[in-house]
């Protein structure tokens, strides 16, 4: 009898052992390099995978946005190099908690999202890639609502290797 | 090895302006190399700035942020000589950080 279920017990032990090792490995991968971030600072992987602007905004914020003249989006009329387009946003809205940039015609619409804690000025400047001529949407989350400003940027040479 | 991060934090009145440049390929995963093979995606996903143990700014980035990324922001409540810590994490699990003094 022992001879018949002997091997299966060993196999089970081996499988269990492998599982434990895999779990330990995972723990290291997620905790090791990035100890500074708390759980609520999780990377919004799903939003960055969305191809279209509306889906990306929905995945990131889960609500609609309304255009506001209090959001000032600064972007060039024409970008000669789509690989490096300087884009910035400022706002006079109070209680800003986050600012995001969406490039509608890019393969993945969401480009960048910034958390603005208390005491940080609600303004961000960065450089984005644009595949082709597209609307750029700046989103400002303030007081639990979502405001936006949109501007078309004409691109002469795309920034995604095309 | 030289740091991948260059940061300049300057106090002006009650506001500290922070400008950062990071050396990183920011590969989208959509571009082919000279042999026609796709270059795998390699990009910074998160970048954070800490002052006195408090996060003052945090970026979540996708592949559409330009190569060798630049970002500028400003925050209040810091004094000259305070330290600001910058750290980033990319999609391959690589990370780097740098502590700079506010000027």
Quick: pLDDT tens for A114-124.
Answer: 999 999 999 99
Cβ distance of A43 and B58 shorter than 8 Å = no
More confident residue, A18 or A134: A134
- Using the predicted structure, report yes or no on whether residue A41 has a pLDDT greater than 60: yes
Report the candidate in B82, B5, B29 with the shortest Cα–Cα distance to residue B51. Answer: B82
Mean pLDDT, residues A21-48: 58
B61 vs B97: CA distance, rounded Å: 17
Contacts of B72 in chain A (CB under 8 A): 88, 124-126
A26: phi then psi, degrees, rounded to nearest 5: -60, -45
Q: Measured between beta carbons, which residues in chain A are less than 8 angstroms from residue B30?
A: 107, 160-161
How many C-beta atoms lie closer than 10 Å to residue A42's C-beta? 10
Q: How many residues does chain A have?
A: 162
Q: Decide which of B68 and A34 is more confident.
A: B68
- What does R_g of chain B's alpha carbons equal in angstroms? 15
Q: Are A99 and A120 in contact (CB under 8 A)?
A: no
Residue A41 phi, psi (nearest 5): -95, 25
pLDDT at B10: 97
Both tokens assigned to A25: 């490995």
- Cβ–Cβ < 8 Å for B88, A33: no
Confidence tier at A157 by pLDDT (50, 70, 90): confident
Sign of CA dihedral B20, B22, B28, B34: positive
Name the pLDDT band for A30 (thresholds 50, 70, 90).
Answer: very low
Whether the CB of A51 is below 8 Å from some CB of chain B: the reply is: no
CB contact under 8 A, B76 and A120: yes
Question: A158 vs chain B: nearest CA distance in angstroms?
Answer: 12
Quick check: A112 and B46 CB within 8 A?
no
B101 min Cα distance to partner chain A (Å): 18
Task: Give the pLDDT band of residue A110 (cuts 50, 70, 90).
Answer: very high
pLDDT at A8: 52
What's the rounded Cα separation, in Å, for the pair A77 and B1? 40
For residue B54, the Cα-to-chain-centroid distance in whole angstroms is 16
pTM metric for this prediction: 0.82
CATH architecture of A44-157: Sandwich (2.60)
A98 touches chain B (CB under 8 A): no
Q: What domains does chain B contain, in order, with CATH numbers? A: 5-101 (2.60.40.10)
pLDDT of residue A5: 52
Query: With 70 as the cut, is the pLDDT of residue B80 above it?
Result: yes
Across the range A96-120, mean pLDDT stands at: 96
Quick check: B44 and B69 in contact, CB under 8 A? yes
CA of A81 vs chain B CAs: smallest distance (Å): 11
> Which pLDDT score, from 0 to 100, does residue A91 have?
97
Q: What is the pLDDT of residue B57?
A: 96
pLDDT tens-digit series, residues B5-56: 999 999 999 999 999 999 999 999 998 889 999 999 999 999 999 999 999 9
Instruction: Give me the residue from A84, A107, A113 closest to B30, CB to CB.
Output: A107
Rg for chain A (alpha carbons), in Å? 23
Distance between CA atoms of residues A51 and B64, nearest Å: 12
Residue from the list A34, A111, A123 with its beta carbon closest to the beta carbon of B65? A111
ipTM comes to: 0.94
Token pair for B83: 């330290």
**Sequence-separated (6 or more) residues with CB below 8 Å from residue A98:** A113, A114, A115, A116, A139, A140, A141
Residue A46: how many CB atoms within 10 A of its CB? 12
| Residue A62 touches partner B, C-beta closer than 8 Å | no
Q: Which residues of A touch B93 (CB under 8 A)?
A: 29, 33
What the block records as the tokens of A96 is: 């800003």
Compute the distance between CA of residue A161 and CA of residue A82 in angstroms, rounded to an integer.
10
pLDDT per residue as tens digits for the range A68-98: 999 999 999 999 899 999 999 999 999 999 9
Greater pLDDT, A42 or A134: A134
Residue B91: pLDDT above 90? yes
Handedness of CA B86, B9, A123, B24 (dihedral sign): negative
* Contact: A121, B60; criterion CB under 8 Å: no
* pLDDT in the model for residue B43: 96
């Amino acid at each position: 009898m022992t001879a018949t279920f002997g091997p299966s017990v060993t196999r089970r032990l081996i499988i269990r052992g492998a599982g434990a090792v895999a779990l330990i490995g995972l723990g290291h991968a997620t905790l090791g390099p990035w100890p500074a971030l708390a759980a609520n600072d999780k990377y919004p992987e799903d939003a960055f995978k969305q191809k279209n602007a509306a889906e990306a905004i929905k995945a990131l914020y889960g609500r609609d946005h309304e255009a506001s003249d209090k959001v000032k989006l600064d972007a060039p009329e024409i970008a000669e190099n789509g690989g490096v387009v300087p884009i910035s946003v400022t706002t006079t809205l109070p209680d800003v908690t986050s600012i995001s940039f969406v490039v509608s015609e890019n393969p993945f619409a969401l480009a960048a999202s910034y958390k603005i804690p208390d005491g940080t000025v609600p303004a961000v400047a960065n450089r984005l890639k644009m595949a082709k001529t597209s609307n750029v949407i700046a989103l400002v989350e303030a007081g639990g609502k979502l405001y936006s400003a949109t501007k078309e940027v004409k691109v002469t040479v795309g920034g995604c290797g095309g | 090895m030289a740091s991948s991060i260059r940061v300049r934090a300057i106090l002006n009145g009650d506001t500290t302006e922070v400008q950062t440049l990071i050396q990183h390929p920011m590969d989208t995963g959509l571009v082919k190399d000279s042999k026609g093979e796709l270059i795998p995606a390699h990009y910074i996903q998160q970048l954070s700035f800490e002052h006195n143990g408090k996060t003052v700014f945090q970026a979540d980035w996708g592949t559409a942020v330009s190569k060798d990324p630049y970002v500028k922001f400003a925050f209040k409540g810091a004094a000259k000589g305070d330290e600001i810590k910058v750290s980033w994490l990319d999609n391959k699990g690589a990370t780097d950080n740098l502590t700079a003094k506010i000027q």
